[in-house]
Amino acid sequence: MRRLILLRHAKTERVQPGERDRDRKLMKRGRADAPIVGAYLAHHGLAPDLALVSPAERAQETWRLVAAALDKRPRTEIDERLYSASPQKLLEIIADPRKARSLLIVGHNPSLHEFALQLIASGNAEAREELRKKLPTSGLAVMELPIDDWSLARPHAARLERFVTPRLITAATE
Protein backbone atom coordinates (compact mmCIF):
# COMPACT_ATOMS: atom_id res chain seq x y z
CA MET A 1 0.00 0.00 0.00
CA ARG A 2 1.25 3.50 -0.87
CA ARG A 3 -0.03 6.84 0.39
CA LEU A 4 -0.19 9.85 -1.93
CA ILE A 5 -0.87 13.27 -0.44
CA LEU A 6 -1.70 16.18 -2.72
CA LEU A 7 -1.40 19.68 -1.30
CA ARG A 8 -2.29 22.77 -3.27
CA HIS A 9 -0.11 25.74 -2.37
CA ALA A 10 -1.53 28.25 0.12
CA LYS A 11 -3.30 31.50 -0.79
CA THR A 12 -1.09 33.85 -2.81
CA GLU A 13 -0.96 37.42 -3.89
CA ARG A 14 -1.99 38.24 -7.45
CA VAL A 15 0.73 38.56 -10.02
CA GLN A 16 1.92 42.17 -10.30
CA PRO A 17 2.83 43.87 -13.58
CA GLY A 18 6.35 42.87 -14.55
CA GLU A 19 6.42 40.02 -12.02
CA ARG A 20 6.83 36.39 -12.99
CA ASP A 21 4.04 34.03 -11.92
CA ARG A 22 6.51 31.69 -10.24
CA ASP A 23 7.74 34.51 -7.98
CA ARG A 24 4.36 35.13 -6.34
CA LYS A 25 4.46 34.93 -2.54
CA LEU A 26 1.90 33.87 0.01
CA MET A 27 -0.64 36.30 1.38
CA LYS A 28 -1.18 36.69 5.14
CA ARG A 29 -4.01 34.12 4.97
CA GLY A 30 -1.74 31.66 3.16
CA ARG A 31 0.97 32.07 5.79
CA ALA A 32 -1.66 31.35 8.46
CA ASP A 33 -3.25 28.37 6.66
CA ALA A 34 -0.11 26.38 5.83
CA PRO A 35 0.91 25.73 9.48
CA ILE A 36 -2.65 24.52 10.19
CA VAL A 37 -2.21 21.89 7.48
CA GLY A 38 1.21 20.97 8.86
CA ALA A 39 -0.19 20.53 12.37
CA TYR A 40 -2.98 18.38 10.94
CA LEU A 41 -0.49 16.13 9.15
CA ALA A 42 1.59 15.81 12.33
CA HIS A 43 -1.40 15.16 14.60
CA HIS A 44 -2.77 12.42 12.33
CA GLY A 45 0.57 10.71 11.64
CA LEU A 46 0.48 11.65 7.97
CA ALA A 47 4.00 13.04 7.57
CA PRO A 48 5.33 11.84 4.21
CA ASP A 49 8.63 10.08 3.57
CA LEU A 50 9.25 12.37 0.61
CA ALA A 51 7.86 15.74 -0.50
CA LEU A 52 8.03 16.78 -4.14
CA VAL A 53 7.61 20.54 -4.38
CA SER A 54 7.04 22.83 -7.33
CA PRO A 55 9.82 25.37 -7.92
CA ALA A 56 7.29 28.24 -7.64
CA GLU A 57 7.98 30.44 -4.61
CA ARG A 58 4.41 30.03 -3.31
CA ALA A 59 4.72 26.23 -3.31
CA GLN A 60 8.11 26.29 -1.62
CA GLU A 61 6.93 28.78 1.01
CA THR A 62 3.84 26.63 1.64
CA TRP A 63 6.00 23.55 2.15
CA ARG A 64 8.42 25.33 4.51
CA LEU A 65 5.50 26.37 6.72
CA VAL A 66 3.86 22.93 6.59
CA ALA A 67 7.12 21.04 7.21
CA ALA A 68 7.98 23.22 10.21
CA ALA A 69 5.01 21.66 12.05
CA LEU A 70 6.21 18.09 11.50
CA ASP A 71 8.26 16.24 14.11
CA LYS A 72 10.67 14.89 11.50
CA ARG A 73 11.33 16.84 8.33
CA PRO A 74 10.81 14.58 5.30
CA ARG A 75 13.21 14.40 2.39
CA THR A 76 12.32 17.22 0.01
CA GLU A 77 12.94 17.55 -3.71
CA ILE A 78 12.18 20.62 -5.79
CA ASP A 79 10.85 19.20 -9.06
CA GLU A 80 10.79 21.59 -12.00
CA ARG A 81 8.23 19.40 -13.79
CA LEU A 82 5.57 20.17 -11.17
CA TYR A 83 5.24 23.84 -12.10
CA SER A 84 3.20 23.31 -15.24
CA ALA A 85 2.49 19.59 -15.06
CA SER A 86 -0.61 18.12 -16.64
CA PRO A 87 -2.43 15.33 -14.79
CA GLN A 88 -0.72 12.83 -17.13
CA LYS A 89 2.69 14.33 -16.33
CA LEU A 90 1.90 14.10 -12.60
CA LEU A 91 1.22 10.38 -13.06
CA GLU A 92 4.61 10.04 -14.78
CA ILE A 93 6.30 12.00 -11.99
CA ILE A 94 4.98 9.76 -9.23
CA ALA A 95 5.88 6.67 -11.31
CA ASP A 96 9.60 7.52 -11.10
CA PRO A 97 11.45 4.94 -9.01
CA ARG A 98 11.61 5.99 -5.37
CA LYS A 99 11.63 4.27 -2.00
CA ALA A 100 9.03 6.46 -0.32
CA ARG A 101 5.91 4.66 0.88
CA SER A 102 4.25 8.01 1.53
CA LEU A 103 4.67 10.76 -1.04
CA LEU A 104 3.45 14.36 -0.82
CA ILE A 105 3.21 16.69 -3.80
CA VAL A 106 2.93 20.45 -3.34
CA GLY A 107 1.65 21.89 -6.58
CA HIS A 108 -0.89 23.92 -8.49
CA ASN A 109 -4.38 23.89 -9.92
CA PRO A 110 -5.99 23.03 -12.20
CA SER A 111 -3.69 20.04 -12.75
CA LEU A 112 -3.51 18.91 -9.10
CA HIS A 113 -7.29 18.94 -8.79
CA GLU A 114 -7.77 17.12 -12.10
CA PHE A 115 -5.11 14.58 -11.11
CA ALA A 116 -6.87 13.84 -7.81
CA LEU A 117 -10.17 13.33 -9.61
CA GLN A 118 -8.54 10.98 -12.13
CA LEU A 119 -6.92 8.84 -9.44
CA ILE A 120 -9.80 8.46 -6.99
CA ALA A 121 -12.14 5.49 -7.42
CA SER A 122 -13.49 5.07 -3.89
CA GLY A 123 -13.49 6.47 -0.39
CA ASN A 124 -15.79 8.61 1.71
CA ALA A 125 -18.61 9.75 -0.59
CA GLU A 126 -19.04 13.12 1.13
CA ALA A 127 -15.32 13.89 0.95
CA ARG A 128 -15.19 12.83 -2.72
CA GLU A 129 -18.12 15.12 -3.51
CA GLU A 130 -16.45 18.08 -1.75
CA LEU A 131 -13.21 17.42 -3.61
CA ARG A 132 -15.09 17.12 -6.90
CA LYS A 133 -16.28 20.71 -6.41
CA LYS A 134 -12.80 22.15 -6.00
CA LEU A 135 -9.34 21.82 -4.49
CA PRO A 136 -8.93 25.20 -2.75
CA THR A 137 -5.66 26.76 -1.71
CA SER A 138 -4.11 24.74 1.13
CA GLY A 139 -6.50 21.90 0.26
CA LEU A 140 -5.16 18.48 1.21
CA ALA A 141 -6.21 15.20 -0.41
CA VAL A 142 -4.87 11.99 1.15
CA MET A 143 -5.17 8.83 -0.93
CA GLU A 144 -4.27 5.19 -0.51
CA LEU A 145 -3.17 3.19 -3.54
CA PRO A 146 -3.14 -0.63 -3.38
CA ILE A 147 0.28 -0.93 -5.02
CA ASP A 148 3.78 -1.96 -3.98
CA ASP A 149 5.58 0.26 -6.45
CA TRP A 150 4.81 3.80 -7.62
CA SER A 151 5.22 2.76 -11.26
CA LEU A 152 1.98 0.76 -10.86
CA ALA A 153 -0.13 3.86 -10.10
CA ARG A 154 -3.08 4.12 -12.49
CA PRO A 155 -6.17 6.30 -12.88
CA HIS A 156 -9.22 5.20 -10.87
CA ALA A 157 -7.11 3.10 -8.50
CA ALA A 158 -6.95 5.23 -5.36
CA ARG A 159 -9.17 5.42 -2.31
CA LEU A 160 -9.66 8.91 -0.92
CA GLU A 161 -8.75 8.55 2.73
CA ARG A 162 -9.53 12.17 3.59
CA PHE A 163 -9.93 15.62 2.13
CA VAL A 164 -9.43 18.64 4.36
CA THR A 165 -8.93 22.37 4.17
CA PRO A 166 -7.75 24.80 6.84
CA ARG A 167 -11.36 25.94 7.30
CA LEU A 168 -12.58 22.38 7.89
CA ILE A 169 -9.71 21.70 10.27
CA THR A 170 -10.39 24.88 12.24
CA ALA A 171 -14.15 24.22 12.36
CA ALA A 172 -13.55 20.68 13.68
CA THR A 173 -11.37 21.97 16.52
CA GLU A 174 -13.71 24.74 17.68
Residue 48: its pLDDT value, please? 97
Domains and CATH numbers, the chain: 2-12+23-173 (3.40.50.1240)
pLDDT at residue 19 in the model: 86
Given this model, what pLDDT does residue 17 score?
A: 85
Q: What pLDDT, on a 0 to 100 scale, did the predictor assign at position 18?
A: 86
Give the pLDDT confidence score for residue 98 in this predicted structure: 82
Give the pLDDT means over successive 10-residue stretches in the chain (174 positions): 97 88 95 98 97 98 98 95 96 90 97 97 95 97 96 96 95 81
Question: What pLDDT, on the 0 to 100 scale, is given for residue 173?
Answer: 79
- Give the model's pLDDT for residue 94: 94
> For residue 51, which of 60, 43, 114 has the smallest C-alpha distance?
60
Provide DSSP, 81-111: GGTT--HHHHHHHHHS----SEEEEEE-TTH
Give the global pTM: 0.96
